[in-house]
Amino acid sequence: MRTIARFLALTVAALIGFAPAASCDGGIAQRAGVGCAPVRDDLSAHDLERVLTVTRPTTDFSRPEPFESMPGGAATTPAPPDRRAFSHASANLPFEDEQDFHLGKALFEKLWVSSPSSTQASDGLGPLYNARACESCHVRDGRGRPPEGAVDATSMLFRLARAPRDDAERAEFASHARLNFPDPVYGAQLQDSAVPGLAAEGRLDITYTEEPVTLAGGETVPLRKPHYAIADPGYGPLDAATTLSPRVASPMIGIGLIEAIHEADILARADPEDRDGDGISGRPALVRERRTGLVTLGRFGWKAQNPSVRQQVADAFAVDIGISTSDLDRSHGDCTAAQTGCLDLPDGVQPRLGAVEAPDPVLDLVTFYSSNLAVPARRKARFPETLRGKRLFHDAGCAACHAPKFVTRRDATHQAQAFQLIWPYSDFLLHDMGEGLADGQQVGEASGREWRTPPLWGIGLTKTVSGHSFLLHDGRARNLAEAILWHGGEAAKARNAFAAMPKDDRKALITFLESL
């Protein structure tokens, strides 16, 4: 397998022809505006042209494009598309790195316990928390779901935030020092679990009303409109300005490859003023990188609020589980000053092991594991029905936001992610998705109506891996058709094109999505 993967890596590199290039002057904030055109600083002008050629949108839908069946490039896993399809290492991961991958996997699945505990390397949970392990939310590294029936809410949560209230807060927000401001009592996230002796913050209360949509040919699709509240609040009412934003856990595959996309390729697709008049005005999310303090491009999370896999992992440790790391030293997690009972409880710091509850190299290993979860190979890419659906996907305008392909950086941090032609089907920009999907919560650059375009690779394996077919940021859509029909705002034109298609065409477009 590794011989094949290395051969393919060399083949793709030869096809594209990578070479170094001069860098573009100006920082990320400048390049996101009009001060400097975004440029690939890892390629020469000649090789940049070749990359532009290989990533140019296709006009031939009679056959698959070269390497289309390998959405993760040479890192694509050829493993069977079964319930473990999202849990394989990159196929081109060097043998010497396999140990770190498996150690990271063990830590990703590790169950943390409350303090004090005899298992001192595992205590520090909470005291308020949403999950005891990363795996609890990302079951088999897959997609979360809303609580339905007897299923608990572990893979779904409520983010809590409000807008700035005064000049000082507005200054913090404008400088990217803060993404928003937490509830003064409940913090940044509703924790529905707590260690023994402490009250949980409350439970997710979700109800639905149905809104039928009639498609071409008379078919009716009932869309579920969710209504959110907090049941059994443990610490009194929320602040009147606090908003609730429901989020389900995202699939873990390919995120290292996403981090390896050159920022210039994402910025090049931004059109915040819609100068080309196509109705699509994607905006980059600029955020402050915690370790360096620099403003950079956000690309992870439902609102692109995190710039790196490592920062995403550190945030999940601190807020979801209540575990401190070297990057985010919050041993009491999301407990606020108003929750004195929480702050009075012992933490899990063991001085002999380090100054935080998850001392190095825990964060490094979980980040490495997360960065090297492979994208599964495409299925049925050559089938006539799939190719027809692909044409319809492009004709409807879906590819305007769900950009099919990129070539990753030549100088990527991990060699397994370097020089790869990948097919994530996302532009990683913020888009106004209309009032129907709005959560009313601003997160950094993202308004209450904006969301990052989620990657589509692996979406056809959602039910196989995760045991359900719930989609969108809050799982309201029960299938792909419902997810499309919820699109509004900048995506309204594409949504309307889908709704107007004959039934057989809609079926073909869904078949294409199921092949990803």
Summarize pLDDT for 300-327 with one digit per residue, the tens: 999 999 999 999 999 999 999 999 999 9
Task: Quote the pLDDT of residue 150.
Answer: 65
Residue 2 has pLDDT above 60, yes or no: no
> What span, in angstroms and rounded, lies between the C-alpha atoms of 288 and 167?
20
Angle at 144 between CA 409 and CA 288, to 5 degrees: 45
pLDDT, tens digit, 9 for 90 and up, residues 19-61? 333 334 445 555 455 345 678 999 888 888 889 999 999 999 9
384, 504 in Cβ contact below 8 A? Answer: no
Question: Confidence band (pLDDT; 50, 70, 90) for 375?
Answer: very high
Q: What is the largest CA-CA distance in the chain?
A: 69
Task: Quote the pLDDT of residue 46.
Answer: 84
> What span, in angstroms and rounded, lies between the C-alpha atoms of 516 and 512?
7
Task: Quote the pLDDT of residue 151.
Answer: 67
Residue 15 has pLDDT above 70, yes or no: no
- Residue count of the chain, please give it: 516
Task: Quote the pLDDT of residue 27.
Answer: 55
pLDDT, tens digit, 9 for 90 and up, residues 135-179? 999 999 999 999 987 667 899 999 999 999 999 999 999 999 999
User: Has this prediction a pTM greater than 0.75?
Assistant: yes
- Cα 498 from chain centroid? 25
Q: Which residues contact 266 (CB under 8 A, 6 or more apart)?
A: 284, 297, 299, 427, 428, 429
Question: Confidence band (pLDDT; 50, 70, 90) for 130?
Answer: very high
Task: Quote the pLDDT of residue 38.
Answer: 74
Cβ atoms within 10 A of the Cβ of 206, count?
Answer: 21
Kindly compute the dihedral angle of the four CA atoms of residues 10, 14, 17, 18, in this order, to the nearest 10 degrees: 10
Task: Quote the pLDDT of residue 36.
Answer: 56
Residue 133 has pLDDT above 50, yes or no: yes
Residue type, 279: G
Query: Per-residue pLDDT averaged across 8-27, rounded?
Result: 37
Task: Quote the pLDDT of residue 50.
Answer: 84
Task: Quote the pLDDT of residue 338.
Answer: 97
Task: Quote the pLDDT of residue 39.
Answer: 84
Q: Select the more confidently predicted residue: 446 or 32.
A: 446
Q: Give the HSE-up count for residue 80: Cα atoms under 13 Å, Cβ half-sphere.
A: 4
**What's the DSSP call for residue 172?**
H
Kindly compute the dihedral angle of the four CA atoms of residues 222, 515, 250, 192, in this order, to the nearest 10 degrees: 50
Task: Quote the pLDDT of residue 9.
Answer: 38
pLDDT, tens digit, 9 for 90 and up, residues 220-248? 999 999 999 999 999 999 999 999 999 99
Q: Among candidates 92, 76, 66, 69, which has minimal Cα distance to 14? A: 66
Question: Domain residues of the chain, as ranges?
Answer: 2-95+252-269+373-515, 99-251+284-370
Query: Per-residue pLDDT averaged across 74-89, rounded?
Result: 98
Q: Which of 18-22, 125-129, 268-272 has the lowest mean pLDDT?
A: 18-22
Task: Quote the pLDDT of residue 19.
Answer: 30
Query: Per-residue pLDDT averaged across 182-196, rounded?
Result: 98
Strands (E), 73-202: 128-129, 156-161, 193-194
Query: Per-residue pLDDT averaged across 438-456, rounded?
Result: 97
DSSP H stretches of helix in 177-262:
255-259
What average pLDDT does the structure give for the chain? 92
pLDDT, tens digit, 9 for 90 and up, residues 114-123? 999 888 889 9
- Cα 248 from chain centroid? 10
Task: Quote the pLDDT of residue 37.
Answer: 61
